[in-house]
Amino acid sequence: MSGLQNLIFDFGNVLFHLDLGATERQLRRLLGDDRFEAARAKLRAADVFNRYETGALSTEVFIEVLRRSSEPALTEAEVLEAWNAIFIGMPSEYFDLLERLRERYRVFLLSNINDLHARWIDRYMAEEHQRHDFRERYFDAVYYSHEVGLRKPDERIYAYVLQDAGLKPEETIFIDDLEANVRAAEALGIRGIVKTPDIDTAQLMRSFLTS
C-alpha cells in the first residue's frame, strides 16, 4: 500500500484467538443465572471492568471484588479460572509473519487488556511457543490499556500511540476486530481495517508483504 510505514495490530481475535463468551458461561455455571445477573449488574454499576482495564484497580482488588460480587463468595481459584477461560491460542505461523513484517514496517500492538490477561499471555508465549521475549521480538512497541491508562475507542489512546512512537497517521494502518475501535482511529487520520471473521489474519499479513 502506497506510503505505508507502520502497522498497528489489535490482539484479541486479530492475532490471538479468543472465546469471548467463555467467562460468562463459566460464571453462570458457578453462580446460576439469577446470581450471575445480579453480580454483573453490581459490577457494571461500579465500572469495575473498565477501571481494571485502564489500571485504576489493582489485580488484588479486582479479584476480591469479583469474589464478593455474589454470596456465597467465589474462591480466588474460581475467579482466575473463569476470568482466563477466554483464551484459545495464537497460531504459530503468525510469529514468522510478524518477523517478516518487521523487516518492512514498524509493527505495534494496541490492546484493551488487563494485568491478569497480560500475565496469562506472557506465560502462554513462554510455555506453548518458547517465546520468552514476545513483546520485544515481534513488536516495536506494545501498548496495553492497563499500562497506558486509556482504552479503545477513546481517541486519546490512538493519539498517545502516534505521539509516543512518532508515527504519521497517514502512514499507519490499524487492524481491529471491532468497528468502533477502527472508526475512532480513522478519526485521527489513521487508515483502518476491520478484521471480520471472514478475513484470515495470516492472509491479511501476507498481503502487506506483497503490496
Query: Can you tell me the distance from the alpha carbon of 149 to that of 54, in angstroms, rounded to the nearest whole number?
Result: 4
Ranges of each domain in the chain: 6-16+90-210, 22-86
CA 157 to each of CA 40, 48, 149, 151: distance values in angstroms, whole numbers, following the listed order: 27, 20, 9, 6
Walking along the chain (211 residues) 10 residues at a time, the average pLDDT comes out as 91 97 96 94 96 98 95 94 97 97 98 98 96 95 98 98 98 98 98 96 96 73
Instruction: Identify the pLDDT of residue 25.
Output: 97
Q: Which triple of cell numbers denotes residue 174?
A: 490499524
Query: Can you tell me the distance from the alpha carbon of 54 to that of 33, in angstroms, rounded to the nearest whole number?
Result: 28
Amino acid at 44: R
- Cα angle, residue 37 at apex, residues 36 and 41 outer, rounded to 5°: 115
* Alpha helix stretches (DSSP H) within the chain: 22-31, 33-45, 48-53, 59-67, 76-83, 93-102, 115-129, 134-138, 145-148, 155-165, 179-186, 201-210
Q: Are 175 and 10 in contact (CB under 8 A)?
A: yes
The residue with cell 494502518 is: 173
Q: Which triple of cell numbers denotes residue 183?
A: 472508526
- Alpha carbon 140 to its chain centroid, in Å, reads 17
Q: Which triple of cell numbers denotes residue 126?
A: 513462554
What is the sign, positive or negative, of the torsion defined by CA atoms of 166, 189, 20, 46? positive
Query: Can you tell me the distance from the alpha carbon of 97 to that of 203, in angstroms, rounded to the nearest whole number?
Result: 10
- Cα angle, residue 46 at apex, residues 84 and 148 outer, rounded to 5°: 60
CATH superfamily entry for domain 6-16+90-210: HAD superfamily/HAD-like (3.40.50.1000)
